[in-house]
Amino acid sequence: MNISRFKVALHRLQVNLPDFMEASQVIPSFSPFVCEDEGDVLFTMDVSVGSAPDFSQLDEIGQFDCGGANHGVYRDADGGYAFEISLPACDTGTLSCCMTASADFAHCRAILTEGLLRQHQFGLNNALMMAYAFAAATQDTLLVHASVIRNSGYGYLFTAPSGTGKSTHTHLWYKYIPGSDLMNDDNPVVRIVDGETRIYGSPWSGKTPCYRNIWAPVGAITRIEQKPENTIRRMAPVEAFATLLPAVSSMKWDKRVYEGICRCISRLLRTTPVYLLGCRPDEEAAHVSHDAIAVK
* pLDDT class of 1 with cuts at 50, 70, 90: confident
Mind listing the pLDDT tens digit for each residue in 217-253? Answer: 999 999 999 999 999 999 999 999 999 999 999 999 9
User: Taking the model in full, what pTM does it have?
Assistant: 0.95
Is 278's pLDDT higher than 90?
Answer: yes
Q: Residue 35: its pLDDT value, please?
A: 95
Q: Residue 6: its pLDDT value, please?
A: 98
Q: Residue 66: its pLDDT value, please?
A: 84
Average pLDDT over residues 262-278: 97
Q: Hey, which CATH number is domain 141-293, 1.10.20, 1.10.3470, 3.40.50, 1.10.10?
A: 3.40.50
SS3 content of the chain, % helix, strand, coil (to 5): 25, 40, 35
Q: Strand 215-226 relative to strand 274-279: parallel, antiparallel, unpaired?
A: parallel
Asked if 142 and 197 touch (Cβ cutoff 8 Å), the reply is no
Provide the phi-psi class of 9: left if phi over 0, else alpha when psi is between -120 and 50, else beta: left
Mind listing the pLDDT tens digit for each residue in 116-172? Answer: 899 999 999 999 999 999 999 999 999 999 999 999 999 999 999 888 889 999 999
CATH 3.40.50 domain span(s) along the chain: 141-293
Tell me what the pLDDT averaged over the chain comes to: 95
Rounded CA separation 149/181 (Å): 6
Q: Residue 37: its pLDDT value, please?
A: 85
Q: Residue 240: its pLDDT value, please?
A: 97
Q: Residue 148: its pLDDT value, please?
A: 98
Mind listing the pLDDT tens digit for each residue in 60-102? Answer: 999 998 878 889 999 999 999 999 999 988 778 899 999 999 9
- Considering the chain, what percentage of its residues have pLDDT values greater than 70? 100
Cross-strand pairs, 34: 6
Reported as half-sphere exposure (CB side, CA atoms, 13 A), residue 37 has a value of 6
CA angle 290, 227, 271 (to 5 degrees): 40
Q: Residue 65: its pLDDT value, please?
A: 86
Rounded CA separation 46/3 (Å): 9
Q: Residue 295: its pLDDT value, please?
A: 96
Q: Residue 92: its pLDDT value, please?
A: 81
Rounded CA separation 16/83 (Å): 19
**DSSP label of 133:** H
Reported as half-sphere exposure (CB side, CA atoms, 13 A), residue 156 has a value of 28
Mind listing the pLDDT tens digit for each residue in 34-69? Answer: 998 888 999 999 999 999 999 999 999 999 988 788
Rounded CA separation 47/109 (Å): 6
CA dihedral 104, 105, 108, 112 (to 10 degrees): 140
